[in-house]
Amino acid sequence: MMTAQNLDALYQEIILDHYKNPHGKGLRDAFEAEVHHVNPTCGDEVTLRVHLDDGVVADVSYDALGCSISQASASVLYDLVVGKPVDEALALHEEFLALMQGKGEVEPDEDTLEDAIAFAGVAKFPARVKCALLSWMAWKDATVQAGGNDA
């Protein structure tokens, strides 16, 4: 149970904006790996493709079904990692993971996480952490399959 105040902490405007107008949504053709991840408890799912080019995340394309948190999270992921060197993107993944698993105790760094800091409020709701992590876990999986770990 949470109060109306907590509700606003969970559903930051940034999250609702990304939910209504997701960035980079849709599956695109150039890719080295495609994965399909589901959240078995709620049925949320994402199909996600990764295109790497010369050590850089050239594209992340995705098709997702799920709640506002999981949809907004995929959109924010797209904004953050596309165009970045793979190792830098993987470091961002670690940072986002630490934020989400931090039970609300981790102070996010806006300089690196940008819009993803809006998810700090989600970390206080254990039931919703998996929603926020769905596309990020899918991206890590696809990136490893695409050989991105060797970059």
Partner 1 sequence: MTTPTLPGLLPELEVVRKDFPILERTLAGGQPLVYLDSANTSQKPQVVIDAMVDHLERHNANIARAMHQLGAESTGAFEEARDKVAAFLNAPSRNEVVFTKNATEALNLLARTIDLGPGDNVVITEMEHHSNIVSWQLACERSGAELRWFGLTDDGQLDLSNADQLVDENTKVVAFTWVSNMLGTINPVADLTARAKAAGALSVIDASQAAPQLPVDVQAVDCDFLVFTGHKVCGPTGIGVLWGREELLNGLPPFHGGGEMIETVTMARSTYAKTPHRFEAGTPPIVEAVGLGAAVDYLGHLGLDAIHAHEQAITGYALEGLATVPGLTVLGPTDATQRGGAIAFELEGVHPHDIAQVLDSRGVAVRAGHHCAKPAHARFGVQSSTRMSSYLYTTPAEIDALVEALEYTRSYFKLG
What DSSP string describes 92-116? Answer: HHHHHHHHHTTTT-S---HHHHGGG
Q: At residue 31, what is the residue type? A: F
- Residue 43 as a binder of partner 1 (CB under 8 A): the answer is yes
| CB 67 to partner 1: min, Å | 4
Angstrom distances, CA of residue 5 to CA of 16, 62, 111? 16, 32, 26
Contact of 84 with 97, CB cutoff 8 Å: no
Closest CA to 71 of 122, 124, 8, 34: 122
Give the nearer residue to partner 1 in terms of CB position, either 66 or 148.
Answer: 66
| CB 129 to partner 1: min, Å | 12
Give the nearer residue to partner 1 in terms of CB position, either 46 or 52.
Answer: 46
Give the nearer residue to partner 1 in terms of CB position, either 46 or 77.
Answer: 46
72 to 111: interface string for partner 1, x by CB under 8 A: ----------------------------------------
Give the nearer residue to partner 1 in terms of CB position, either 12 or 143.
Answer: 12
The rounded distance, in Å, linking the Cα atoms of 30 and 150 is 20
Please report, as residue ranges, which positions from 124 to 143 form the binding site for partner 1 (by CB under 8 A): 125, 128, 131
